[in-house]
Structure 1
Amino acid sequence: MAEFSLGPEFERYQRDMQEQMGDFSKMQESIKAAVGRGEAADGRVIAEYKAEGGLTKLELDPRAMRLPAVELGEEIRTAVNAAAQDFQAKAREASKAMFDVPDDPAKGMDPSKALASLDKIANGFAGQMRDLARELGLQQQRAKEAMDNYKGPGFPGPR
């Protein structure tokens, strides 16, 4: 029996998609695993920030509770903001390679470069889908020809 294969184009398509999706999945996993940490009041107020859940941890040392309420509120805010900024830095680092994020966050992302990265991914995907459709059409034609030429029991032969 002949081995069925979609051919080298499909295999290339699979490799390219696995590579692209692998990079994207790695970036997503890195961001999901990132934990931003922030401290204030000489380490007496500790906050953690994650992609899922936002502020996920807030620890107050009993000594921090001796601070006046207004000052304690400011220290908590400082720790939470530091944790959020730390998380953002880790998320930028995780997405830096894929979306050409600049080192200096004040510069912000260049929208044209980000769109170019997305466009490159989309065009690559579209090209691979065209190749796949062409290869599937060829395989369909081959299967039809094989069925038309099949001379097994109970078949009258080519139509």
Structure 2
Amino acid sequence: MTDGAPELTWTAEPTPRWDADKAAAFSPAGPTVHGLGTPDEGDALGDAWWRVETADGEVAGFGRLDDTWGDAEVLVAVVPAFRQRGVGAWAMDRLAEEAAARSLNYVYNVVPVAHPDREAVTAWLGVQNFDTRETGELRRRVTTRAATTAPSQ
């Protein structure tokens, strides 16, 4: 990354569990707002999760992908100290790549009504190329590398 943003790594969590780093990334909204219930330290989490870390191993955030029926619900949570530094956009792009690798069509998100920054998060998703649907769902088309690098005829 450039422009003062940290260098980041994207690491799959083979057995994702709730921990203090996730709790920090989900503050102040908390996990309940995002449909994760009220997990305790060490509780197993469903879906596919990735940890975003800086080059020196500091946790900067998380990405979650829940794929069903050709699409994937995605969620990005960034540790407060790393917000407004491009970490969320970087993680969202990684989630789109993960969805493309699974041959999915769209990634989507619905910002919960109870989210304390609902309008700001919805606007941010718009900047990340998500289109708003009448249902309140925000969708972003996923393109595979093959589709973007195929020669034109």
What TM bracket, shorter-length normalisation? under 0.3
**TM (normalized to structure 2)?**
0.21
Higher helix share: 1
Higher strand share: 2
**TM (normalized to structure 1)?**
0.21
- By relative contact order (CA 8 Å, sep 6+), the higher-ranking structure is 1
Q: Return the index of the structure with the highest Cα Rg.
A: 1
